[in-house]
Amino acid sequence: MATTDLTAQTFEQTVLDNDIVLVDFWASWCGPCLRFAPVYDAASEKNEGVVFAKVDTEAEQALAAAVDITSIPTLMAFRDSILVFRQSGAMPPEAFQQLIDRVGSLDMDEVRAQVAAQKAAPPENAPTDATPRHTHTH
């Protein structure tokens, strides 16, 4: 399967409509991006049922900003519409294939339980009952 170019208009629907979506954020001026491209393209030919998408961060600056891309290449992996992996930097072919295999074998019930637990937990800096509250009276 060939890679698919994503835009701000197609990103969310692609993630929602497919079981496994890998997204490579790249730019034509980025040396590591250009070296990773053949690895990514070769993996797309070997892994049926996985969507291999690419986002050109120069053409899609608003999308890159919306998902907080600060360095490229950045690889994201979604499974059942949940972001399960995010890493900046190119990967060698063996490590990339291991990642694809791990994403495919995730226990998604466990992942969903972890996501729910994270949403239920208060943010790290949120005040608790033990946190002194400052009141000002004049």
Residue 126 lies in a domain: no
Residue 137 lies in a domain: no
Residue 129 lies in a domain: no
DSSP 40-85: HHHHHHH-TTEEEEEEETTTTHHHHHHTT--SSSEEEEEETTEEEE
Residue 130 lies in a domain: no
Residue 107 lies in a domain: yes
- 104-137 in b/e burial notation, b at 16+ Cβ within 10 A? eebeeeeeeeeeeeeeeeeeeeeeeeeeeeeeee
Query: What CATH number does the domain containing 27 carry?
Result: 3.40.30.10
Could you give the CA distance from residue 89 to residue 70 in angstroms, rounded to a whole number?
A: 11
Catalytic residue of the set 30, 39, 50, 84:
30
Catalytic residue of the set 6, 20, 33, 100:
33
Could you give the CA distance from residue 53 to residue 18 in angstroms, rounded to a whole number?
A: 11
Q: What local confidence, expressed as pLDDT, does residue 2 receive?
A: 82
Average pLDDT, 10 consecutive residues per value, the chain (138 residues): 90 96 97 96 95 97 96 97 96 97 95 91 65 50
Could you give the CA distance from residue 78 to residue 72 in angstroms, rounded to a whole number?
A: 18
Residue 5 annotated in active site:
no
Residue 30 annotated in active site:
yes
Residue 86 lies in a domain: yes
Residue 134 lies in a domain: no
DSSP 6-37: --TTTHHHHHHH-SEEEEEEE-TT-HHHHHHH
Containing domain of residue 76, as a range? 4-120
pTM for the complete prediction?
A: 0.85
The domain total for the chain is 1
